[in-house]
Amino acid sequence: MPTHPRFGAVLLGLVGTLVTVPAEAQAGRLAQAQVLSLVLAAPSVLGVTITSGASQSIASLTDNAVNGFPSPVTILTNWNLNPGQTARVNLVAYFTTPSQALVGGATQIPSSRVLGRVTTGLPVTFTAISQGPVGGIGTAGGSLQLFSQAISGTNKVATRTDNLDLQLDLVGFPTLDPENYTGTLTLQAVTQ
């Protein structure tokens, strides 16, 4: 991993032409010069870390009610990007199979019943995880864009921390059997 920004900076924009020359030991013979062109691009860095709340649980579900997960998912997003090549950083939450966001026994709870909120991001109120992909990341009908951060020269190397609050909306949903309902929500950042 190119974790040292200065390393990438040193390489940034380096366009070199190196010419090989014949070895000294080959006295009396002169090989034809070979041209090797090197073009380097700065490595992009884009990462997501869940600093807390990676395991969310509701101990006792109530039918026909909105059930809140008790603590938020705290997400650290970091990047080191070239603003000439990257306009925005987006963070997306999605379920791989939207119709089966949570499953228990034969019962499937769709992603439209799982609501997310990021008060420092885009869904500032609880919003169903039923949007489309962003920048090719996410699933149709099972995604939620959590933030979209414009990239410029002043924040091309930066981090941000956001809290994702989650709810399970069972209002109008058929009465659940006593079960453990489990699922996995994926978080991924993507540049545009």
Report how far residue 109's alpha carbon sits from residue 104's, in angstroms, rounded to the nearest whole number: 8
Cβ neighbours for 40, distance < 8 A, ≥ 6 positions apart: 11, 12, 13, 14, 15
Q: Which two tokens stand for residue 168?
A: 């399970």
Position 47 contacts another protein (CB under 8 A): yes
Note whether 20 binds another protein by CB under 8 A: yes
Q: Are 120 and 114 in contact (CB under 8 A)?
A: no
Binding status of residue 184 toward another protein by CB under 8 A: yes
Taking CB under 8 A as the criterion, which residues in 63-122 touch another protein? Answer: 63, 67, 69, 73, 75, 77, 93, 101-102, 104-105, 114
Cα 169 to the chain's mean position, in Å?
A: 25
User: Applying CB under 8 A, which part among 44-52, 120-128, 139-147, 150-158 lies near another protein?
Assistant: 44-52
Q: Is 32 in the site for another protein (CB under 8 A)?
A: no
Stretch of 53-61, 119-127, 147-155 lying at the interface with another protein (CB under 8 A): 53-61
Maximum C-alpha span of the chain: 92
Total residues in contact with another protein, by rule CB under 8 A: 70
